[in-house]
Amino acid sequence: MRRREFIAFLGGAAGWPLTARAQTGKLPTIGFLGANNPSIQSGWTAAFVQRLRELGWIEGRTVAIEYRWGEGQVDHSPDIFAEFVRLKVDVIVTHGTANVAAAKKTTSVIPIVFTAVSDPVGTKLVASLGRPGGNVTGLSNEAPDLAGKRLELLREIIPAIGRLAILANVGNPAEIGDVQASARTLGLTVTMLGVRRAEDIAPVIAGLNGRAEAIYVQSDPLFNFNRVQINALAQNARLPTVAGFRPFVDAGGLISYGPNFPDLFRRAADYVDKILRGAKPGELPVEQPTKFDLVFNLKTAKALGIAVPPSLLVRADEVIE
């Protein structure tokens, strides 16, 4: 190589990601664990990959991505993260409180970026939002009083509602306290439906026996993965559901109000970009959602004999008919 070409080569190498230069012949690698399956979160994953491309990280050319899928369960997450450690990935990307906790337990060295966690400080995933510390950072999928806003929407549609069931994953305490507090403020009587596995869902809903007039579904991968079953059971029991995931309404839920998940995954790519270029995750502040979607399913409303006020429909980002 000629001297001038060699100098130019070195100058270009100075802008390379640190990990890429440290591992000659190996592309920087992202270990990506989706909490659901490729179909359910295809739009979320596509947003992540597209943003990486915009930042210069082209899959298969300048970065490699190892995809794994949790399918709504967290039992195998520790094994998947252990595999990522063996593969020597440069950064781990995942979502859901239990998955992030498993990743943090598996490695204190590899940077971890979470795309959606309800309460990262309360669940001790980070020391603080402004300065996470350690090897974990990312995006929260909760903002102040989101639970209260969902219940207020439910009250606008069903003004006389007095009894609420909360479908909750007992392994994930995030969000539940806010729902209970908001329900008390609105004067609602609450029945907790605690589950650990998909097999628990049908029995707890069947066991309501008229003790609720609607079901609040916690924002948890277990429920997102099983949303079709949950909404079918709820409709059979003549109970509307309110959730934080937009796919719930596609699957027959009445209302969803919450963060725009494609946007959260897109923004997660910015964290990955900074980390691959040398930033320390513990110094990257945790960010909160900035885009929110309100979606109604009028087909479900009609099936349940519920009239959604026009004043709510004009506020909706989308109405499924």
Per-residue pLDDT reduced to its tens digit, 214-249: 999 999 889 999 999 999 999 999 999 999 989 999
- The band of 19, judged by pLDDT with boundaries at 50, 70 and 90, is very low
Strand stretches in the chain, DSSP E: 29-34, 64-69, 91-94, 112-117, 136-140, 163-169, 189-195, 215-217, 241-243, 255-259, 292-297, 318-320
The two three-digit tokens of residue 186, written as one number = 């609105």
Amino acid, res. 118: S
* Ordered domains of the chain (ranges, CATH): 3-142+260-291 (3.40.50.2300), 146-259+293-320 (3.40.50.2300)
Q: To the nearest whole percent, how much of the chain has pLDDT over 90?
A: 81
Q: What is the mean pLDDT of residues 200-206?
A: 97
- CA end-to-end span of the chain: 65
pLDDT exceeds 70 at position 303: yes
pLDDT for residue 163: 97
CA pseudo-torsion sign 154, 158, 162, 168:
negative
- Mean pLDDT, to the nearest integer, of 93-120? 95
* Across 2-11, 265-274, 287-296, least confident range: 2-11
Least confident range from 100-104, 170-174, 278-282: namely 170-174
2 has a pLDDT exceeding 80: no
- Nearest residue to 267 (alpha-carbon basis) of 39, 42, 44, 30: 44
Instruction: Give the mean pLDDT of 104-124.
Output: 94
Structure tokens at 200: 């628990």
Mean pLDDT of 296-313: 96
Query: Which residues are 117's β-sheet partners?
Result: 140
Per-residue pLDDT at 72: 86
16 has a pLDDT exceeding 70: no
Residue 143's pLDDT is what? 73
List C-alpha distances in Å: 286 to 10, 129, 296. Answer: 35, 5, 30
pLDDT tens sequence across 32-89: 999 999 998 999 999 999 999 999 999 999 999 999 999 988 889 999 999 999 999 9
Tell me the pLDDT band of 22, cut-offs 50, 70 and 90: very low
Smallest Cα–Cα separation from 220: which of 267, 274, 169? 169
The pLDDT of residue 252 is above 50: yes
pLDDT at residue 285, as a whole number = 98
Give the integer Cα–Cα distance in Å for 86 and 131.
29
> If you ran DSSP here, which 8-state letter would residue 198 be given?
G
